[in-house]
Amino acid sequence: MKNRFILLSGFCLLLLCINSCKQKKNHPDKTDSDQQTELTDTAISIEEIDTLSFALYENEKKYHINNDTAMPACTFSIDMIYPDNYPNNIKLKQIQKYFVKSIFGEEYESFAPKLAAEKYMQNYIDTYKKDMSQYSHSKKDIGVWMNYELSVGSRSLYNNHDIWSYELSTYMFTGGAHGIYTTTYQTFDLQKGKSLLLNDLISEKNRATIDELLRKQLAIDLKLTNINELSKKDYSPENIVATDNFYAGKNGITWLYNPYDIAPYYLGQTRITLPYSVLRPYLLPECPVKRIFE
């Protein structure tokens, strides 16, 4: 386990004192049948501007069928920035609970972020062992399709004016033609202690206008003359609509569309940002995001 303090840059440069402490940990209780390769296991405290601060947890484990390195394996890796300090401890627990639920699922929300990550990782490996147990006694059915991989990550995107926006990313490979990667944005109102959805920002009557603005902005980003040309670039204009997959940043709100949401896999992810100068007339009067630019 490595613990160290590092310097992160948010919207301004902060100087922190760096303390390094290294400990080597033995695991005498591990048996051959349970052996896993631990490549990294790191927790780092990270301070950012405003009142919410974060820590970084990194870990990677690999398990081979029958603990035989010649056999297929599953690999789990995590690179997680999570909230670990806030002046109001009760509210911190509330923030952490929502964060854990958003990245690992409801069954882990009662655990602290790092413990939840460790339990999630072990559950992934245990599930792989169970799924592959039928092949563990015969090598004739062994194939590369049995090499599984799961990578989970999170990072802070914006932390100011009691608005915290963060990104969750997942890459999963289960032996198919290609892996699947998804990214989810979250925007959290620290004052109210709740995640913000589209309904908290824009009224239903303005949705169609926002959808049209998103299409126009994407056409501009792609240097197209009009939105009708989007289909020629293999986008589906009718699917380009405002969703809950957004984050509020310093200059505007960014929507993200994963592969297959609005375009084929080969086009990857699409991000569209609408500046606050454009969004201002359509935001609800009580919209918490207004604190960023007013």
Helix axes 113-132, 89-104, angle to 10 degrees: 20
CA pair distance 93, 172, nearest whole angstrom? 29
Q: Is residue 28 part of a domain?
A: no
pLDDT of residue 135: 77
DSSP string, 87-99: SSHHHHHHHHHHH
Decide which of 145, 162, 195 is a domain's last residue: 195
**Domain match, 158 and 252 both:** no
Backbone CA torsion sign across 23, 28, 29, 32: positive
C-alpha radius of gyration, the chain, whole number: 22
- CA distances in angstroms from 72 to 38, 63, 141, listed in the order given: 17, 9, 11
Other C-beta atoms closer than 10 Å to the C-beta of 276 total 18
- Has residue 25 been placed in a domain? no
3-state SS of the chain: helix, strand, coil percent to 5?
A: 35, 35, 35
Q: Domain end: 159, 179, 195, which one?
A: 195
Q: Which domain holds residue 79?
A: 2-20+33-195
**Burial class of residue 143 (count of CB atoms within 10 Å of its CB; 0-12, 13-18, 19+):** exposed
Phi, psi of 249 (to 5 degrees): -120, -165
- Could you tell me the pTM of the whole model? 0.80
For residues 186 and 272, state if they share a domain: no
Question: Widest CA span of the chain, in angstroms?
Answer: 66
Compute the C-alpha angle 280/283/288, nearest 5°. 105
Same domain? For 184 and 281 the reply is no
Q: Which residue has the tokens 């509020």?
A: 248
Q: Is residue 94 part of a domain?
A: yes
Last residue of a domain, one of 176, 195, 214: 195
Is residue 141, in this structure, part of any structural domain at all?
yes
Looking at the fold, whether 137 and 223 belong to one and the same domain comes out as no
Q: What is the mean pLDDT of each run of 10 residues along the chain (294 residues)?
A: 36 35 36 37 48 95 91 96 95 96 98 98 96 76 84 97 98 88 97 96 97 99 97 98 98 98 97 98 98 96
Q: Is residue 284 part of a domain?
A: yes
Q: Are residues 265 and 172 in the same domain?
A: no
Same-domain pairing of 65 and 184: yes
Judgement on whether residues 114 and 176 belong to the same structural domain of the protein: yes
Please tell me whether residues 161 and 227 are part of one structural domain.
Answer: no
179 and 218 in a common domain: no
- Is position 27 within any domain? no
pLDDT of residue 5: 33
Q: Are residues 105 and 222 in the same domain?
A: no
Could you tell me if residue 6 is inside a domain? yes
Same-domain status, 213 and 224: yes
CATH number of the domain within which 266 lies: 3.90.640.20
Residue 26: inside a domain? no
Structural domain count, the chain: 2
CB under 8 Å to 285, separation ≥6 — which residues? none
Backbone angles phi, psi at 208, to 5 degrees: -60, -35
pLDDT of the residue at 141: 62
Phi, psi torsion values for 51, nearest 5 degrees:
-105, -15
For position 23, what pLDDT does the model report?
37
Q: Give residue 140's pLDDT.
A: 60
pLDDT given for residue 18 in this prediction: 34
**Same domain for 145 and 13?**
yes
CATH of the domain at 127: 3.30.565.40
CA pair distance 104, 113, nearest whole angstrom: 9
Task: In whole angstroms, give the CA distance from residue 254 to residue 227.
Answer: 19
The reported pLDDT for the residue numbered 50 is 52
pLDDT for 139 equals 65
